[in-house]
């Protein structure tokens, strides 16, 4: 399918913007009887060092948007810029962690070899590869013994740590995560949420995290971008003013967390009940 050409030049993003999504539109089956406008017009920015969560009702186009950002799917119009450069296909500057960790790791390779592989294929010298693999594994709390094991010898939660280590070892400008913890049990999920916040802080990453879980979106990020139902627009961009140090019990039982959670919940309900609509209300 051929993408529509953007008629007017889009405004250049400010310099501390790492990722810029501008008027992104995605129509599946354009010009066919099955034409479906999944994403109408999405614009938002991710600044250097931000941790932003994206939530929306089921079918609101979260995966479509993430694939367009990652260069895995061509937008119908609009554009994505990474460090000022237009994304026109898969790029080293963007690493993606998907939900299906089991399918994303090679079972015949050790954990260390899985993490090292993308570095090898992109020509990183051996000594630097070793150092980057060790740093990435340490960042996700996997020790030397775990590094020598095979993915199938590990629990689901540990496999997802390997996938995260592989993504961060590539030192991407932005780490994209598509519902990465949806397939693990609740306790492991909490541990992985804290782990990803630690990785974000210690390695100074910029993260865009897609989730359908309202609590997770509020707990993890510094901002929550709420999507409308399809055809999708940004319904609300909500700053999360919780303390930087978060704790699964303390933070989640705080009054502010409950307020923010209730607010995002109402937004999602509004999105479900107003398909394709935008609104005038602002974040409280």
**Interface contacts to ligand ATP, rule CB under 6 A:** 28-29, 36, 38, 56, 58-64, 212, 230
Rank residues 98 and 165 by Cβ distance to ligand ATP and give the closer one: 98
Q: What angle do CA 13, 16, 22 make, to 5 degrees?
A: 30
Q: How far is the CB of 58 from ligand ATP (least distance, A)?
A: 4
Q: How far is the CB of 88 from ligand ATP (least distance, A)?
A: 20
CA 5, distance to chain mean position in Å, is 27
Rank residues 154 and 226 by Cβ distance to ligand ATP and give the closer one: 226
Rank residues 116 and 178 by Cβ distance to ligand ATP and give the closer one: 178
Rank residues 72 and 88 by Cβ distance to ligand ATP and give the closer one: 72
Q: How far is the CB of 227 from ligand ATP (least distance, A)?
A: 7
Q: How far is the CB of 132 from ligand ATP (least distance, A)?
A: 31
Residue 41 CB-density burial (10 A; 0-12 exposed, 13-18 middle, 19+ buried): middle
Q: How far is the CB of 152 from ligand ATP (least distance, A)?
A: 26
Q: What angle do CA 254, 260, 266 make, to 5 degrees?
A: 135
Rank residues 55 and 205 by Cβ distance to ligand ATP and give the closer one: 55
Q: What DSSP assignment string belongs to 149-173?
A: S-GGGS-HHHHHHHHHHHHHHT--S
Beta-strand relationship, 17-28 and 77-82: antiparallel
């Amino acid at each position: 399918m051929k993408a529509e050409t953007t008629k007017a030049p889009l405004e250049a993003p400010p310099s501390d913007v790492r990722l810029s999504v501008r008027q992104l539109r995605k129509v599946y089956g354009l010009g066919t009887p099955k034409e479906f406008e999944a994403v109408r017009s999405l614009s938002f920015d991710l600044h250097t060092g931000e941790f932003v969560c994206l939530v929306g009702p089921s079918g609101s186009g979260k995966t479509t948007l993430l694939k367009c950002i990652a260069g895995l799917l061509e937008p119908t119009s609009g554009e994505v810029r990474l460090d000022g450069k237009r994304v026109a296909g898969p790029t080293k500057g963007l690493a993606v962690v998907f939900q299906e960790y089991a399918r994303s790791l090679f079972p015949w390779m050790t954990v260390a070899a899985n993490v090292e592989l993308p570095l090898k294929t992109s020509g990183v010298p051996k000594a630097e590869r070793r150092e980057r693999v060790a740093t990435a594994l340490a960042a996700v709390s996997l020790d030397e013994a775990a590094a020598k094991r095979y993915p199938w010898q590990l629990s689901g939660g540990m496999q997802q740590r390997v996938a995260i280590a592989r993504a961060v070892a590539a030192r991407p400008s932005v780490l994209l995560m598509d519902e990465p913890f949806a397939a693990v049990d609740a306790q492991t999920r909490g541990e992985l949420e804290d782990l990803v916040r630690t990785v974000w802080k210690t390695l100074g990453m910029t993260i865009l995290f897609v989730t359908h879980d309202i609590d997770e979106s509020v707990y993890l990020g510094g901002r929550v971008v709420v999507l409308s139902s399809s055809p999708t627009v940004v319904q609300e961009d909500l700053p999360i003013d919780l303390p930087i140090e978060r704790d699964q019990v303390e933070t989640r039982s705080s009054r502010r967390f409950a307020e923010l959670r209730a607010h995002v919940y109402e937004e999602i309900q509004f999105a479900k009940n107003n398909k394709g609509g935008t609104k005038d209300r602002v974040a409280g």
